[in-house]
Amino acid sequence: MKKLYKSIIILILFSTSLFSQDAPTTEDYEQSRLALTYNYYGFPFAVDVGYTYRKNSSQIFFPLVGASYEVGKYSFGLFANAKMEYRYKRFYFQAGFKQGLIPSVGDGYKYENLESYGQFKIGHYFDNVDISYSANVGNAYARNIFNKEISNIFQVNHYIGLYSLLHTDAANTLSLDTSLNIETMPNGGQYSYSFSARMPYTFYHYWGEFSIMPYISYSEYFQDSEKNYNIGDDYLDTLMMTTITGSKEPYQALYNFLSYVHLEYRFYLRFLPDAFSSIYFVAYGNIGYGKEVGESFDDGTILYTAGGGVGYNMFGTVPMQFTVGVDRLNNVVINYTISTVIHRY
């Protein structure tokens, strides 16, 4: 644990030392105005409004208030946000608070038991790389191992993320998205970590796009940790999909080892007028392997899902889509937000 925290501190110091890489501003610039910030490249979908002041290479957003729509291990949720953000050239710092607005469906969720936590984030953009450290402190949902109940408990969670655009040209895009998470529940004595990586590749041609994305994740408890709450990834959650028919499994399994390959093809209706040419049909297939905590590797589960639907390429870069498919239990699964394969740059 101590070595890990030292690594986090070194990462922050390294990020802040990179200011000198940017060329100095040649002329004075000052502006204050109403601010509108948003994220539509993937979860969370977020929009914030407020005030911003900029002078030369420095810019501050305060206050910012807004809402976000997010997906987690157990639910989709709507949050209210209040935060501030400071930017200096390619360095950025954020601090804020999030409050859940709508509880998820299920017996374990109540309006008086919504998620709420403070957030801190610091990072730096390179030409094709975004590296960051963030922390959430407050009440977040967890699922009890013994009685399967979902409740919010106090957590302090750390995240180190790296996103890189490895290659891009007129016909190809390849990117890498990795993260290291440390989940701590001090009151319950539980400490765990997880690592995940995805590498989406997309080939573009006039009539469509072919994408392939390998994914891998691994989670484990620290040696001195209690084991009261589940850890691991929900297979469908990582694909931004959910079931709409009764599942044979009362609670979706969480896999502490999960790996799969996702294939997707989008066929655009280019023969339609320009206003409709961003509409497309999509077909996808996915196959992988998952192992729960306590299982041997050989006792894991083969996972798969396949289906298709329609979509719209919003702003020319964001594949919003609705798909219907089936999983290994013959349950109907849907994706009604955004494609699993997305490049943030």
Instruction: Return the minimum-mean-pLDDT range out of 106-120, 155-169, 233-247, 256-270.
Output: 106-120
CB count, 10 Å around CB of 23?
8
Q: What is the mean pLDDT of the chain?
A: 87
Backbone angles phi, psi at 127, to 5 degrees: -60, -45
Question: What pLDDT was estimated at residue 230?
Answer: 93
Return the domain boundaries, the chain: 1-115+139-154, 169-345
Cα separation, 334 vs 337, whole angstroms: 9
Cα separation, 84 vs 281, whole angstroms: 40
254: three-class secondary structure by DSSP: strand
Rank 10-24, 62-76, 144-158, 174-188 by mean pLDDT and report only the highest.
Answer: 174-188
| pLDDT class of 75 with cuts at 50, 70, 90 | low
Q: What is the pLDDT of residues 176-199, one digit of tens each?
A: 999 999 999 999 899 999 999 999
Cα separation, 307 vs 169, whole angstroms: 29
Question: What pLDDT was estimated at residue 110?
Answer: 67
| pLDDT class of 151 with cuts at 50, 70, 90 | confident
Cα separation, 97 vs 279, whole angstroms: 37
State the virtual CA torsion across 230, 232, 237, 238 in degrees, nearest 10: 170
Cβ-contact 288, 300 below 8 angstroms: no
State the virtual CA torsion across 271, 265, 198, 104 in degrees, nearest 10: 90
Mean pLDDT of all residues in 70-97: 88
The pTM score is 0.86
Question: Half-sphere exposure (CA, 13 Å, Cβ side) for 66?
Answer: 22
Mean pLDDT of all residues in 290-298: 93
| pLDDT class of 23 with cuts at 50, 70, 90 | very low
Token duo for residue 91: 């360095």
Question: What pLDDT was estimated at residue 45?
Answer: 85
Token duo for residue 102: 């709508």
Q: Which residue did the predictor score with more confidence, 317 or 112?
A: 317
Contacts made by residues 166-171, CB under 8 angstroms, sequence distance 24+ = 166/128, 166/199, 168/345, 170/204, 171/203, 171/204, 171/205
| pLDDT class of 66 with cuts at 50, 70, 90 | very high
